[in-house]
Structures are given as C-alpha cells and as structure tokens.
Structure 1
C-alpha cells in the first residue's frame, strides 16, 4: 500500500499505515491503559526497530522503500532528528543510512537539529501545540549548504504532518533547497 501525503513539500508518500486494528484491553497491573494492537507489516518492522532495538529489520524496511522510483536522483537524504536521544538505535537515522548506501545518495544527518530535552511530540495531541513546539525546537545547522538541491526528507511515522511541515519550511526558507520530497515508513490512522 502507498499513501500519498499532501503538504508543503513537492511530493510525499507513506509506505503503509502503522496499525491495522487496536482493541482496548482495560487497565494493566501498573494502572496503564492496555491495547492489543495489530500492525501492518511495515508497522511491525518499525516497532521492532524503534521499541525493541532490533537492527536486523533495517534491511527489510529498506527493501520495501526501494519500490519508490527516483530516490537515486535526490541530492541528499535528511533524516528527521529524534527527540528521544536515549535510544540505542536511532531508527530514522539507521534507515536513512541503509537506504543511502543502497541508492548511492549521501545522508546529511546533522542538517536539522532538535533541542535536547524537549517534549516528545507523541504525547502532544493538539496539532497547533505540536507545531508551536516544533518551531522552537527544530533548527537548521548554520553550516548546511543545500541551496538548489533536491532533498529527500525521511521520517518513521506520519501523524499530523506537523514535523514534516516545519522541517520543509526550514529547508525551503532557510536552506533555500530546490525541492523537498517526503518519505515515511508508516502513517497513523488518525491525526491525533
């Protein structure tokens, strides 16, 4: 499945939805809501990489992303930086590096920077609040030289589009790139 993503970028796609179904199971022994979730194939691979630290799935993810024609014409891949710097494996960076190696395009992993210690956006449901947080926490590395370049902006999960919208604005307005193309592994079924 491919899902076209509309935004301030030239073209954007999500490989698949993240979850297929989620059933509320009640409150667990720790007092937290519990869900039984069925993920798409890509959603499960991403979950294993992101939350279980299973780097063996990176190749499988990149195999699926290889179906998109024209990736090799990009001047660079820019992974959206993670808010959670404590993860042993940074999933978006790991996927970007493997994809870049496969299509022979450089990864520029320090172009977009997120302030450390910021609030994780997955805990913020209001799209306007998310965008406001991003505008203060996402910045362009002043040493970036991207004028006139075609950029593939890569992320793991599309929720409301706030992160990609702010990142694209930065790349167009501050870095003066020619075109931004967006590719994400999965998209949530809701925008919350």
Structure 2
C-alpha cells in the first residue's frame, strides 16, 4: 500500500460535512525573477499535495495511484455516509483530467459509482482569477445543471482536487440538493489553500 500521511482539515459550505485531505502548500517563498520577468517561488507542499501537483502540472499519471489509495483508505471508514461520487467538472481542457482520474480510481477502489451528472451551461473559465466573493458567486450563478435521474434520493460525495473559497462546490451542492433531489451531499477535496482567495 502506498498510503501517504495526511492532515485532514474540515471544510465548510452548503454541504452536510466536508474534508480536505491536507493543505495545498506549507510555504511559498519568492526566490527572484526568471528570464521572462515572472517571480519564481520555492514552494513546500505536503506529500499528497506534491503528488497532486505532479498529476496536474506535470501530467504524471503515476502520482494518481498513491492519492487514490490514500483517499480510498480514508473514505473506507465513512463508507456508509455516501453511495455515489460526483466529480466537479473540469474548468478547462487538459490532456490529463486529474479530478476525473482520481474520482474514477476512488470509485473503483470502494466499489462506488462515479456519476458524471453535472454539466455546465456555458464555458466556465477559471475562478482563481476572480478574487471578489460577490463576483465569484455571480460567475457560477446558473452555470451548473444536473441529471436528477442519477442523483435523486442518493447520498452524494462531491469530489474536487482543491478547495479555495468553496464557490464552485457550493453552487454544485445547491444544484444537487435542489434540482438533483439528492438526500445528502458531503464534500471531499485533496487539498485546501491556506487562504480562501
């Protein structure tokens, strides 16, 4: 087993309960500008966050397995609290879609269906570039729809790679509980930023 040590942190939002497996970074120190004038940082990450960085930013698929094993082991103790995993849809195209890869791996490890039941009504863009909370909420207003046939009466685990402000996950939780008629929604992310900007 390639289980890595984590430091689970409660995350709050519109969901019933939620957890991030660890912080996204421990520290990030400016080390000077590169040849293109961009500030470079020396970033220290928890082990699971380093694996996530490799999967997302280096398209290193080998980093997915220890994340999947660690999360499946953690969730195994809470198996009665959900009966389906719903991954947050990717905000932009990548060769490797880490959230989907991890969700499917976790679902397979726990023998739980992974529902691709959330779709977007328009291109999402990236919320990380919007810092104003009201503007973020406006950006996701009416953005997500759900196939209620898949979620009605279910206990959902909403899954994403990173928790920042919770705007996206709150919007999806509301859709799952309202139009989707889910019985309950819980949330899990791999990492959580140190601030919610």
Band the TM-score falls in, shorter-chain normalisation: over 0.9
Unaligned runs of 5+ in 2: 1-6
Q: Does 1:120 align with 2:99?
A: no
TM-score by length of 2: 0.90
Of 15, 23, 29, 1:23 maps to: 29
Q: Does 1:155 align with 2:160?
A: yes
8 Å CA contact retained: 2:115, 2:150: no
Q: How far 1:122 moved relative to its partner?
A: 1.7
Provide the C-alpha distance between the structure 1 equivalents of 2:38 and 2:167, rounded to a whole number of angstroms.
Answer: 27
Provide the C-alpha distance between the structure 2 equivalents of 1:148 and 1:17, rounded to a whole number of angstroms.
Answer: 32
Provide the C-alpha distance between the structure 2 equivalents of 1:6 and 1:174, rounded to a whole number of angstroms.
Answer: 21
Question: Structure 1's 71 and 126: CA in aligned 2 closer, same or farther, altered over 3 A?
Answer: farther
Counterpart of 1:80? 88
Q: How far 1:73 moved relative to its partner?
A: 5.1
Counterpart of 2:18? 12
Provide the C-alpha distance between the structure 2 equivalents of 1:124 and 1:27, rounded to a whole number of angstroms.
Answer: 24
Of 95, 107, 114, 1:100 maps to: 107
Unaligned runs of 5+ in 1: none
Q: Deviations over 1:95-144 (max 9, x none)?
A: 000000000001112x1123564321121122221221112432224x64
Q: Deviations over 1:37-69 (max 9, x none)?
A: 111111101000011101111110012112232
Provide the C-alpha distance between the structure 2 equivalents of 1:98 and 1:80, rounded to a whole number of angstroms.
Answer: 15
Provide the C-alpha distance between the structure 1 equivalents of 2:41 and 2:141, rounded to a whole number of angstroms.
Answer: 32
TM-score by length of 1: 0.92
Aligned residue runs from structure 1 range 157-172, under 5 A: 157-172=162-177
